[in-house]
Amino acid sequence: MDPNPPRRARGRARGGYPPPSNQIGQPGGPPPNQSGQPHGSRPAQTPPSGPQVRNMPGKSGPQSVEQVTNGIGNMKTEDAPIPIGRRAVRSRQPIENIYYRLERPESSTSSDGKLGKGGQAIQLTSNYFPITTYTDWSLYQYRVDFNPVQDRINIKRGLLTAHKKLLGAYIFDGSMLFSSKKYKPATLELASKQNFGDDIVIITIKFTQIIEKGDHASIQVFNLLIRKALMNLNLSLVGRNYYDDKAKIIIPKHSLQLWPGYETTIAMYDSGLLLRTEISTKIMREETVLDFLKECAESRSRDPQWMVKFKMGVVGSTVLTRYNNKTYRIDDVDEKSNTRSTFKKKDGSSISYIDYYREKHKINLSNHQQPMLVSKKKKSFQIEGDECELVYLVPELCTLTGLTQRMRDNRFLMTDLAVYTKAGPSERICKYNSFINRVLTTPKSVDLLSQWNLTLSNKLVTFNGRVLTQETLQGNQMKYPAGNAADWTTTLRSAPMFTCAGIKRWAVIGPQSNGGQVRLFIKTLLTVAKKMSFNLPPPEIVDLDISNMRLYTTTLDQVINQMNPSFILCIINRNDHYNVIKRQLCIDRAVPSQVVLMRQMEKNNISVCTNIVIQINCKLGGAPWRVVIPEKGMMIVGFDVCHDKQNKNKSYGALVATMNDSHTAYFSCVQPHESGQELSSYFAMSIAKALNKYRSKNKELPKSIIIYRDGVGDGHLSYVHRTEVDMLKKTCKDFYGEKKVGMAFIIVKKGISTRFFCSNPKNYQNPPPGTVIDNTVTDPSMYDFYLVSQHVTQGTVTPTHYNVIVDTLNETTATNITPAVMQKLTYKLTHMYYNWSGTVRVPALCQLAHKLAFLTGQSLQSRANPGLEDLLYFL
């Protein structure tokens, strides 16, 4: 197996930001309007009032595709591009601008709306508590201004609290105040005295609008209200969620702490207003960033690159500052500044970081030479051209959070963590009930909710889902069931593969020090291939010193020039050799390859050899199995994005599309981009390339196109719909003219907090693979559904959410895709990822696109040779 398998959601990008210009900021919080100048550092620069990043104009597309492709890169969108995905960091923003809801596609509405049919009914419980009563009167929104201006929300809240008797029950988010009372006059002016002095602050409260029941803004008010209720549970706010540090679990063996916590969201669903609750765990490492810096510095005598190692270890990580329980993502290390450096306070005076922390937080810093950490503070929905503010942090005061890759690779550590972090269904249900009981029995929280006429049920919502029929897989002249656990590994070992690629010559490059083991390994491969009806001839074996990378790459060139092999299997003993080999064979040459670690080769077990034989076949154009998809003339597409490992401001968007009716032949392409607009343009270009390739292979265009788009958050549906979808429609019109083509555009979302359980009060269980949920907890304004496609043996299964934002499939006579067919098709596609003889969480095309984007961003840092675009070389 390749030593760099796809990892779950790590290193993923959903679009990115170019770097902002450097500014000097205040420690441990937002930078002041005046910037300071670190001692002996660069001249001070004044940060702008708003965030900003450099604008990257769209690039024109490749010239090798037809003329229709060339024009796509010049298409203009109405709005400035918005970065897509996780790097679009959320922050406090005007409530009325948060929500965006697409209207459900008209063609998806049938007599049953978005509900599917078929399958076996199953009673389910989910992690949602009904809100049984809530206010039926209007809410009033007011804008609140402070003179002089106050930056800290806690100070603002304290100043307002002095007038609680006048204002009554209210919610304040930092700039807007919401109340059930209509204040008279419409503009109030109040005076409050600051706690730390005699200065008087004038508070102006001005009426802005009425928020009616059911408005999305009113839903956000309820979310603010529930978060206020959580504050009364004596929980600690860390980042955006609340954690119980008093119930923390200490694991001395690994120097880790686990803080249990809760994620809550109130929203309108098909069954009404619901509170979703999910348990979460914050992993705290007991070491600080300064501890890690000292560890790296200890190796300076033998490693001159120790500072580079330090930067690689902290940049991109998340740290917690214990003095205010805030989390920050580290974006840079400023070696030119340290704790002796100074910055300007709001009153214009300068102060060093040493004095600031001593005076402000009563903290005496022990190390005065430590370089400062830099965090870019971004606003949600940040628009290009806006500049980021910088926050300077002291390593000594930053606790590392999360796990390093080295920790993740430690199976003993991960096994110990799983005991606490992978809660099973019954344990998770117990924690949900414990949470709601804690809310409903805490007097302050009960009083707060009653003031707003908000009543929470203490019972989780229950409803019916459906379990789809078990799939049947097809090999060569044989069929076999996927199984109740959706795992056909055992059957596959003796099942003829659906199609086998032809291969005349192939080579194996292995260690000369262990030639006997290599030949034994090859013998097992050939035996396994024969059982699967794959005619794999004996390879040419080349023995060499595999630790000599220069010799290795030279030998690869010689083998290719002399043999012209169809495939090369490379055995290595170091992970860092993987990227060098892949770049040589995927970019410089166009030779499908498989890289195997020597320790895997030495095991010589049937399981590893079976996977390698399947990968050899797939990378040469074969297919080990298929599922029957009745619809003809359909092109199914998956799209995903991943960061460049070396340049975090660059990302790669990868597209994989099926090219035949059995959906076992593929086309792939990948494009680099540095902005949301570039991503949208290149997405349309990639679709154009796929349509050209489909027409070349089938002598006609596809009758329908189904696109699974991974990595789009709810906040960016509007942008995707206005840009990617619009460009896609223009591309299709260029190819099809006035002829209609059926199309579906489906947003795939894995990072969700929704969980489902089989409703058995005595012993809750995970739903079986194939469970579909399209009611009760789905969005009333969307054509959406949840699908549980996997069987898990540990913890709680995580479903995947699918949101069909475009559906014109039934507007043509060629297709008849009802919601039931869409759900069934999606489930079928989770069986088609050839790197795993079982179902995966997303349709195989999405997983393949992620694998391609991941390989490109992490290993290749460039597009592969076009000669590989018809093969699954990245599997």
Distance, in Å, from the CA atom of 551 to the CA atom of 563, rounded to the nearest integer, reads: 18
Judge whether 779 counts as a catalytic residue: no
Q: What is the mean pLDDT of residues 434-459?
A: 92
Which pLDDT does position 34 carry in this prediction? 34
Nearest to 128 by CA among 786, 773, 777, 799: 777
Judge whether 710 counts as a catalytic residue: yes
Cβ–Cβ under 8 Å, residues 691 and 701: yes
Which pLDDT does position 569 carry in this prediction? 97
pLDDT above 50 for 93: no
Confidence of residue 813 (pLDDT cuts 50, 70, 90): low
Instruction: Out of 5-9, 137-141, 443-447, pick the least confident.
Output: 5-9
Read off the pLDDT of residues 841-864 as tens digits, 9 standing for 90 and up. 999 999 999 999 999 999 999 999
Distance, in Å, from the CA atom of 221 to the CA atom of 225, rounded to the nearest integer, reads: 6
Confidence of residue 121 (pLDDT cuts 50, 70, 90): very high
Distance, in Å, from the CA atom of 544 to the CA atom of 759, rounded to the nearest integer, reads: 60
Which one of 254, 384, 850, 869 is the catalytic residue? 850
Supply the pTM of this predicted model.
0.83
Judge whether 850 counts as a catalytic residue: yes
Give the E-state strand segments of 289-397 in sequence order. Answer: 318-321, 326-329, 332-338, 342-344, 350-352, 371-377, 389-393
- β-bridge partners, 655: 639, 669
Task: Considering only residues 5 and 653, tell me which one the structure prediction assigns the higher pLDDT.
Answer: 653
Judge whether 79 counts as a catalytic residue: no
Which pLDDT does position 27 carry in this prediction? 59
Which one of 334, 386, 674, 678 is the catalytic residue? 678
Instruction: Out of 59-68, 172-181, 498-507, 838-847, pick the least confident.
Output: 59-68
Read off the pLDDT of residues 549-597 as tens digits, 9 standing for 90 and up. 999 999 999 999 999 999 999 999 988 899 999 999 999 999 999 999 9
Read off the pLDDT of residues 666-714 as tens digits, 9 standing for 90 and up. 999 999 887 655 677 788 999 999 999 999 999 999 999 999 999 787 7
pLDDT above 60 for 52: no
Q: What is the mean pLDDT of residues 320-335?
A: 89
**How would DSSP label each residue in 809-826?**
GGGSTT----HHHHHHHH
pLDDT above 90 for 132: no
pLDDT above 60 for 346: yes
Distance, in Å, from the CA atom of 531 to the CA atom of 525, rounded to the nearest integer, reads: 10
Which pLDDT does position 5 carry in this prediction? 43
Read off the pLDDT of residues 735-775 as tens digits, 9 standing for 90 and up. 999 898 999 999 999 999 999 999 776 789 999 999 999 99
Which one of 710, 774, 807, 869 is the catalytic residue? 710
Confidence of residue 717 (pLDDT cuts 50, 70, 90): confident
pLDDT above 80 for 631: yes
Instruction: Out of 215-229, 326-340, 616-630, 674-688, pick the least confident.
Output: 674-688
pLDDT above 60 for 109: no
Query: Which segment, 8-22, 183-197, 658-672, is predicted with the most confidence on average?
Result: 658-672
Average pLDDT score over the chain:
84
pLDDT above 60 for 659: yes
Q: Give the containing element (helix H, strand E) for 804.
A: strand 800-807
Confidence of residue 10 (pLDDT cuts 50, 70, 90): very low
Which pLDDT does position 766 carry in this prediction? 96
| Amino acid identity for residue 852 in this structure | L
Which pLDDT does position 38 carry in this prediction? 36
Tokens (6 digits) for 30: 């937002």
Distance, in Å, from the CA atom of 130 to the CA atom of 133, rounded to the nearest integer, reads: 9
Which one of 640, 644, 779, 869 is the catalytic residue? 640
Q: What is the mean pLDDT of residues 248-256?
A: 91
Task: Considering only residues 183 and 23, tell me which one the structure prediction assigns the higher pLDDT.
Answer: 183
Cβ–Cβ under 8 Å, residues 718 and 764: no
Q: What is the mean pLDDT of residues 20-43?
A: 40
| Amino acid identity for residue 660 in this structure | N
Which pLDDT does position 814 carry in this prediction? 62
pLDDT above 70 for 64: no
Tokens (6 digits) for 75: 């298409």
Which pLDDT does position 74 carry in this prediction? 42
Q: Give the containing element (helix H, strand E) for 626.
A: strand 626-627
Q: What is the mean pLDDT of residues 524-553?
A: 94
